């Protein structure tokens, strides 16, 4: 006897039906079959009327994710307004069925559910520590399990370049590999020892397409990031002609920020045009991320050639060089029918075009330059990535009792603080529609393995998922904390090496 999963042919939900069948087979050991008809034991349907979506979210390619799950003795009916809504409902059903074997038992219920925020993301840095395709897929599947709908793939930095670009083979041969990795915390007073072990890796175009398709089946968009004009030590090591000194600094073995920046020569922009074309070909998402953060101006200030070009281009300061990069990348991205997004430095000294989105890593409204409000008032879409609430590379406790915590970058971000975040509180009603949503960041300097990544991500991502999905209507912390214990049992079944909850004192 097989469990039948059905969907109407006109709804084009075959991929979602196959996804659910795969989960039921792998996790519950149910024999399943899918059919394009009505009357299955589990039926998927696009029968909910779509709700209005904010214009900026719709332009970015997001859809209404509301769904309704109805359980009767005869059938489980999953209705939604879009395939993405069906994908969210599948994850709810997956959680309800966690731990079941051989028989299907779900109490009668009707669940009407919809998210508070449209952009709900998890970021993963694979430049500091490379994660293979299997690890990336697993990260995405766990994100989807918690109803995140965006995966921000940080592909390049000083310590490694992971994106193939046709015509530039040294990216894979040189920029993707470092000779060793720093041991311990980054020190400014002395040079850190290294482990002497080469580290690196890169993705092929086919592997990237495979990951994109895997994410799409789960209703997850992928935002790729190539960080320029700073954070380019690996790139300049492979192609010193793109730098300002002519030297090969070596792919960075330690953490921190390098002094290397790109130059303004025509060959550099030919390369960047090819990068944009590559990203547009591999990733269907509306936005392409080009970093823009922490670009030091020292090399530009010391370069007679850059100073000459500044005069030719009418650039008044060295900071204007970064604004020039932003403008050129905007042009290249727009020519491919896409939009640019960058970290909040892209709006610190200038004003990017209105279709350019800003990702705020500094904290909302209290940042020195009020960059978030500046962006919103100018009409630039805003994504919140506030470091004090969403940087999951920080320690999970502070003070006594953390002697055996694995090495982290510093600070402290306990799960309670993540859950207490109210992302939209600081913004007046008339500006809130410009906030696309929010996301957490997994910077990987101190996250070398898959299990360590699990530990740093969960259960903090569980708390953020609730914040972004439910908004201010969410339950009090004590009630969530009690439910979290049951949810961690589900993560045990999935083999997630999360950080255990500490006993209450």
Catalytic residue among 84, 157, 393, 445, which?
157
Catalytic residue among 294, 426, 433, 481, which?
294
How far is Cα of residue 395 from the mean position of the Cα atoms in its chain? 20
Please give the backbone phi and psi of residue 173, each rounded to the nearest 5 degrees, phi first.
Answer: -85, -30
Is residue 487 flagged as an active site residue? Answer: no
Question: Pick from 180, 137, 175, 135: which is nearest to 157 by CA?
Answer: 175
Spatial CB neighbours of 425, under 8 Å, sequence gap ≥ 6: none
- 474 burial type by CB count under 10 A (0-12 exposed, 13-18 middle, 19+ buried): middle
* CA–CA dist 260, 235 (Å, integer): 9
Evaluate the CA torsion angle 466, 468, 470, 474 in order and state its sign: positive
Spatial CB neighbours of 45, under 8 Å, sequence gap ≥ 6: 7, 8, 11, 13, 77, 78, 79, 80
Are 16 and 91 in contact by the 8 Å Cβ rule? The answer is: no
DSSP state of 479: H
Burial 109-133 (b: 16+ CB within 10 A, else e): eeeebbbbbbbbbbbbbbbbbbbeb
* CA–CA dist 219, 88 (Å, integer): 8
Are 356 and 374 in contact by the 8 Å Cβ rule? The answer is: no
Question: Pick from 145, 122, 143, 142: which is nearest to 437 by CA?
Answer: 122
Rg (CA), the chain: 23
Catalytic residue among 129, 146, 152, 231, which?
231
The number of beta carbons lying within 10 Å of the beta carbon of residue 101 is: 9
Is residue 294 flagged as an active site residue? Answer: yes
Is residue 445 flagged as an active site residue? Answer: no
Q: Strand, coil or helix: what is 59?
A: helix
* CA–CA dist 109, 92 (Å, integer): 13
* CA–CA dist 259, 236 (Å, integer): 11
Q: Residue 167: in which H helix or E strand, if any?
A: none
Return the active site residues: 157, 231, 294
């Amino acid at each position: 006897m097989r469990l039948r999963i059905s969907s109407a042919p006109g709804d084009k939900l075959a991929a979602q039906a196959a996804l659910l069948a795969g989960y039921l087979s792998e996790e519950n050991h149910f024999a399943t079959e899918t059919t394009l008809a009505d009357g299955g034991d589990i039926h998927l349907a696009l029968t909910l009327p779509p709700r209005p979506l904010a214009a900026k979210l719709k332009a970015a390619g997001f859809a209404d994710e509301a769904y309704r799950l109805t359980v009767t003795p005869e059938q489980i009916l999953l209705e939604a307004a879009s395939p993405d809504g069906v994908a969210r409902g599948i994850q709810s059903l997956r959680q309800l069925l966690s731990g079941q074997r051989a028989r299907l038992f779900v109490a009668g219920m009707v669940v009407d559910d919809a998210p508070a925020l449209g952009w709900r993301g998890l970021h993963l840095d694979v430049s500091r520590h490379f994660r293979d395709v299997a690890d990336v897929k697993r990260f995405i599947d766990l994100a989807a399990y918690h109803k995140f709908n965006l995966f921000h793939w940080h592909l390049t930095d000083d310590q490694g370049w992971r994106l193939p670009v046709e015509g530039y083979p040294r990216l894979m041969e040189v920029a993707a590999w470092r000779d060793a990795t720093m041991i311990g915390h980054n020190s400014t007073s002395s040079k850190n020892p290294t482990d002497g072990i080469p580290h690196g890796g890169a993705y092929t175009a086919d592997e990237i397409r495979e990951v994109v398709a895997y994410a799409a089946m789960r209703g997850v968009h992928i935002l790729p990031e190539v960080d320029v004009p700073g954070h380019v030590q690996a790139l300049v090591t492979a192609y010193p002609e793109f730098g300002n000194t002519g030297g090969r600094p070596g792919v960075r073995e330690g953490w921190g920020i390098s002094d290397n920046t790109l130059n303004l020569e025509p060959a550099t922009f030919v390369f960047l045009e090819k990068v944009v074309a590559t990203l547009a070909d591999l990733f269907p998402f509306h936005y392409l991320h080009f970093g823009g953060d922490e670009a030091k101006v020292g090399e530009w200030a010391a370069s007679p050639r850059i100073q000459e070009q500044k005069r030719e281009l009418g650039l008044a300061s060295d900071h204007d060089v970064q604004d020039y990069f932003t403008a050129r990348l905007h042009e290249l991205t727009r020519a491919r029918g896409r939009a640019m997004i960058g970290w909040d430095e892209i709006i610190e000294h200038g004003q990017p075009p209105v279709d350019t989105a800003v990702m705020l890593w500094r904290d909302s409204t209290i940042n020195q330059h009020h960059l978030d409000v500046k962006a919103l008032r100018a009409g630039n879409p805003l994504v919140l990535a506030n470091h004090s609430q969403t940087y999951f590379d920080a320690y999970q406790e502070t003070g006594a009792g953390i002697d055996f915590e694995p090495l982290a970058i510093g600070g402290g971000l306990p799960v309670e603080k993540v859950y207490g975040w109210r992302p939209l509180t600081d913004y007046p009603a008339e500006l809130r529609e410009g906030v696309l949503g929010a996301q957490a960041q997994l910077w990987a300097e101190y996250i070398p393995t898959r299990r360590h990544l699990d530990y740093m991500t969960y259960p903090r991502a569980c708390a953020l998922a609730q914040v972004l999905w439910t908004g201010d209507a969410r339950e009090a912390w004590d009630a969530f904390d009690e439910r979290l214990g049951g949810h961690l049992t589900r993560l045990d079944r999935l083999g997630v090496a999360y950080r255990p909850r500490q006993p209450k004192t």
